[in-house]
Amino acid sequence: MGSVPVLTNIVMRTVSLYAAANSYRMRTMSAESPLTEITTCPRCGKSPLTEAAGALQCKACKVEYPSIGGIPWLFAEPDASLGEWRNRLHFALQQLSNEAAGIKAELQNDGLIDLTRQRLEQQLDAIDQHRNALRKILAPIDIQSSQASYESYLALRTRLPSDHGIATYYANIHRDWSWGDTENAASLEQIKNCAGDVELGKTLVLGAGAGRLSYDIHMQMETELCVAIDFNPLLMLVAKSMAQGDQLELYEFPLAPKRAEDFAVLRKLAAPAAVRDQFHLVLGDVLRPPFAAASFDTIVTPWIIDIVGDDLPFQAARINNLLKPEGRWLNFGSLAFNHADKARCYSAEETLVHVEKAGFAPATVNEVTIPYMCSPASRHGRQETVFSFSATKQSDVKAPPRHKALPDWIVTGKDPVPALQAFRTQAVSTQVYAFIMSLIDGKRTIADMAKILEQQKLMTTDEAIPAIRNFMTRMYDDAQKGKSL
C-alpha cells in the first residue's frame, strides 16, 4: 500500500470529537482571541474581519469565513475551497476502494506464500479502517454544503496545488509527534540560533504543516502570540489535537520498511504538554495570507520558500509587508527551487540578494546538516544541509500584486484564449492520440495501426511503430497504477 496512512478505530473516535472539544486551549474564535485584530479579508485583502456567530466575516465583501473543526477557514473563496477539498476527499475514498478491490483480487491467488497473504490481509484491513477514518477526521469539511456562487469561481486564482491531497506530507505527522525528537530539536535549535537574544513577539509561521515547529517555538521561545497557517486540513486538525493535549494512535506506513513488521507501525502521537495560551491555527493560503500589514514582529518560513508557486521576490515583499518596522524574517529549510523557469531556481547567493532588495538588511546565514525524515522503521531518510537566515526589516517596500494561480482568461472566461505554441503542439498530439485510441478494437496490432497512420499521411510506418508503442506503454502503465490507487 506504499505510504497510504492508516488510522485506528481509536483515532476515529477521538478525532470525531474535534468540533465539540470544550477543552480547546487555543480559543481561536473566543472573545479573548486577537485574530480579529490582525486578520484581513483574504478576498479583498483590505477590510478587517469581524466575528459573528462563531465565524469571521468581511462586511465589505459580504463573505463569511467559517470555523472548520474550531480552526478559521480563511481562503479567498471559502465555499469553493471547501468544495475542492471535499472533491479531493471523495476522490481519495474512491482510490482506497479501488486499492482494496485490487488486493482482494490478489488474495484469490492460491500460489501466495503465507507471509505474503498475511501482509495483504493486513493491508486490506488497514485500507478499510483508513477509508472510514477519513470520513470522520475530515467531517467538518462537509458541513459547508451550500452551492458556490459565480463569484466563487474566482477561487481559481488561489487554487490548491494539483499534486497536493488530503494525505500529502502525512509522514510529517509522525515525525512531528512521534519519533522525530532528534530532528525536531535540531530544527528548533536553528530557529534559536537565528533569533539570538531578541524576543520574537507576535510570530507568524507560514506553512506550518503538522505544527510541531510552531508549537516548540511558542512553548520554548516565549512568543507573545504565535499564529500557524497551512492549507492542509488533515495536518491542521492533527496539530490542533496535539496542541490541546490529546493523544492519538495512528499507523505509519514507511516508504521503505526495514522488516515485515514495519509495513504498518502503530504510533502513539502526543505533544509534551498542552500548548500555552495565545497559540492559534489558521487554514488558508500562504500566498494570500489573511493578515493585516505590519501585524507581526517575526515571520518564520520553514521549508516553504522554494516549493510554493510564487516567485521569491514576491514572497519576500509580501513578508516585508506583514512585518512591523524592524521585524524579522527567520527562514529555515532547504533551497531546492524547481520552477519551470530556470531563472527562478535561485542559488543561496541569489536568494540573499532578493531578500535585501525586498527591504531587509543583509541577512545572517547559518547552514548546518541535520537529520531529515529518518523514521526508525524505514530505510529511507537522509541528512539535509538546511539554509537558515535571519533578516531584519529595514524599510517598507511596495506590496506585491495579489497572487493569481491562473490567468483571467481561464478564471472569468471572458477574454480570448491565447494561441500559445504549447497549445498548438498539444492539439496535434491530442488528435494523433485520439486517433490511435479509436483504432483499438481488440483485433488490430501495433503494426496494423502504424500502416493506417501512414495511409492517413500522419507519419511513416517506421515512425509510427515506436510512437504507438510508447503511447501504449504509457497507457498500460497508467492502467496498472490505477489498480493500486
Find how far residue 168's CA is from the centre of its chain. 6
Examine residue 240 and state whether it is found in any structural domain, yes or no. yes
Q: Are residues 317 and 437 in the same domain?
A: no
Domain boundary among 392, 413, 429: 392
* pLDDT recorded at residue 295: 96
Question: Measured at the alpha carbon of residue 301, what is the angle toward residues 299 and 302, in degrees to the nearest 5?
Answer: 140
* pLDDT recorded at residue 25: 42
Q: What letters, b where the CB count within 10 A reaches 16 and e where it falls short, cover 202-224?
A: bbbbbbbbbbbbbbbbbbebebe
Alpha helices per DSSP H over 230-373: 233-243, 312-322, 348-357
Determine phi and psi for 343, rounding to 5 degrees: -65, -20
Q: Whole-angstrom Cα distance, residue 168 to residue 248?
A: 19
* pLDDT recorded at residue 135: 78
* pLDDT recorded at residue 423: 82
Q: Are residues 345 and 449 in the same domain?
A: no
* pLDDT recorded at residue 190: 96
Q: How far apart are the first and last CA of the chain?
A: 9
Determine phi and psi for 38, rounding to 5 degrees: -120, -10
* pLDDT recorded at residue 438: 92
Examine residue 106 and state whether it is found in any structural domain, yes or no. no
Q: Whole-angstrom Cα distance, residue 15 to residue 133?
A: 9
Q: Whole-angstrom Cα distance, residue 234 to residue 232?
A: 6
As averages over each run of 10 residues, the pLDDT of the chain (485 residues) reads 39 36 42 76 91 88 91 90 80 82 94 94 85 78 50 48 74 97 97 94 97 98 96 93 91 89 89 97 95 97 94 97 98 92 95 98 96 96 96 96 75 78 79 87 93 88 89 83 53
Under a CB-based contact definition with an 8 Å cutoff, are residues 218 and 270 in contact? no
Examine residue 94 and state whether it is found in any structural domain, yes or no. no
Q: Are residues 255 and 165 in the same domain?
A: yes
Tell me which residue range forms the domain holding 471.
Answer: 421-483
Determine phi and psi for 30, rounding to 5 degrees: -85, 170
Q: Cα dist. 30→54, 72, 201, 286, 454 in Å?
A: 8, 11, 21, 23, 71
Q: Are residues 386 and 431 in the same domain?
A: no
Examine residue 338 and state whether it is found in any structural domain, yes or no. yes
Q: Are residues 342 and 442 in the same domain?
A: no
* pLDDT recorded at residue 158: 53
Spell out the residues 6+ positions from residue 461 whose beta carbon is closer than 8 angstroms to its own: 447, 450, 451, 453, 454
Domain boundary among 392, 407, 438: 392
The answer to pTM > 0.85 is no
Q: Are residues 296 and 349 in the same domain?
A: yes
Examine residue 213 and state whether it is found in any structural domain, yes or no. yes
Determine phi and psi for 150, rounding to 5 degrees: -55, -40
Q: Is the dihedral of CA 335, 338, 339, 343 positive or negative?
A: positive
Find how far residue 269's CA is from the centre of its chain. 20
Q: What letters, b where the CB count within 10 A reaches 16 and e where it falls short, cover 362-375?
A: ebeeeeeebebbbb
Output the domain CATH number for residue 295. 3.40.50.150
Q: Are residues 242 and 337 in the same domain?
A: yes
Q: Cα dist. 238→78, 165, 248 in Å?
A: 21, 15, 9
Q: Are residues 387 and 474 in the same domain?
A: no
DSSP 135-158: HHHTGGGGT--PPPPGGGGGGGGG
Q: What letters, b where the CB count within 10 A reaches 16 and e where it falls short, cover 328-358?
A: bbbbbbebebeeeeeeeebeeeebbebbeeb
How many structural domains is the chain composed of?
2
Q: Cα dist. 42→283, 314, 404 in Å?
A: 11, 17, 13
Q: Are residues 385 and 437 in the same domain?
A: no
Q: Does an H or E element contain 11, and which?
A: helix 9-15
Q: Are residues 339 and 435 in the same domain?
A: no
In the sheet that 247-252 helps form, which strands lie side by side, from edge to edge? 6-7, 247-252, 265-270
Q: Are residues 335 and 224 in the same domain?
A: yes
Q: Cα dist. 469→41, 187, 198, 473, 476 in Å?
A: 52, 49, 63, 6, 10
Q: Whole-angstrom Cα distance, residue 361 to residue 34?
A: 29
Examine residue 220 and state whether it is found in any structural domain, yes or no. yes
DSSP, res 191: H
Q: Cβ of 376: how many Cβ atoms within 10 Å? A: 13
Q: Whole-angstrom Cα distance, residue 74 to residue 65?
A: 6
Examine residue 346 and state whether it is found in any structural domain, yes or no. yes
* pLDDT recorded at residue 196: 93
DSSP, res 199: -
Q: Are residues 262 and 353 in the same domain?
A: yes
Examine residue 144 and state whether it is found in any structural domain, yes or no. no
